[in-house]
Amino acid sequence: MSDTTASLRRKIDSAGELQSVVRTMKAMAASSIGQYEQSVHALGDYHRTVELGLSILFRKRARAMAVPARKGHADTATVGAVVFGSDQGLVGRFNDVVADFAVTTLAALPGKPQIWAVGERVYGRLLDAGLAPAGGFTVPTSIDGITPLAGQILVESEAHHDADDGGELHLFYNRPIAGAAFEPVTQRLLPLDDIWRRDLAELPWPTRSLPEVLGDQGDNTATLRALIREYLFVSLFRACAESLASENASRLAAMQRADKNIDELLETFNGSFHRLRQSSIDEELFDVTSGFEALSTEK
Name the band, by pLDDT with cuts 50, 70 and 90, for residue 26.
Answer: confident
pLDDT tops 80 at residue 226: yes
pLDDT tops 90 at residue 120: yes
Task: Give the pLDDT of residue 180.
Answer: 67
Mean pLDDT: which of 1-10, 203-212, 240-249 is highest? Answer: 240-249
Task: Give the pLDDT of residue 81.
Answer: 93
Task: Give the pLDDT of residue 71.
Answer: 47
State how far the Cα of 120 lies from the Cα of 122, in Å rounded to an integer: 6
pTM, two decimal places: 0.79
Task: Give the pLDDT of residue 216.
Answer: 54
Per residue in 60-95, is it b (16+ CB within 10 Å) or e — as a string?
A: bbeebbeeeeeeeeeeebbbbbbbbbbbeeebbebb
Sheet holding 78-84, edge to edge: 135-137, 112-118, 78-84, 168-176, 182-190
pLDDT tops 90 at residue 122: yes
Task: Give the pLDDT of residue 157.
Answer: 79
Counting other chains too, the contacts that 245-248 makes at CB distance below 8 Å and 24 or more residues apart are 245/32, 245/33, 245/36, 245/37, 245/40, 245/176, 246/94, 246/173, 246/174, 246/175, 246/176, 246/182, 247/86, 247/91, 247/94, 247/139, 247/174, 248/29, 248/30, 248/32, 248/33, 248/36
Question: Environment class of residue 12 by beta-carbon count within 10 Å: exposed (0-12), middle (13-18) or buried (19+)?
Answer: middle
Say which residue, 294 or 2, is predicted with more confidence.
294
pLDDT tops 50 at residue 25: yes
Name the band, by pLDDT with cuts 50, 70 and 90, for residue 298.
Answer: low
pLDDT tens per residue, range 57-106? 888 765 444 444 444 445 556 788 999 999 988 888 999 999 999 999 99
pLDDT tens per residue, range 184-212? 999 998 888 788 888 888 888 888 887 77
| CATH number for domain 28-206+229-251, candidates 1.25.10.10, 3.30.565.10, 3.40.50.720, 3.40.1380.10 | 3.40.1380.10
pLDDT tens per residue, range 152-176? 998 887 776 654 455 788 999 999 8
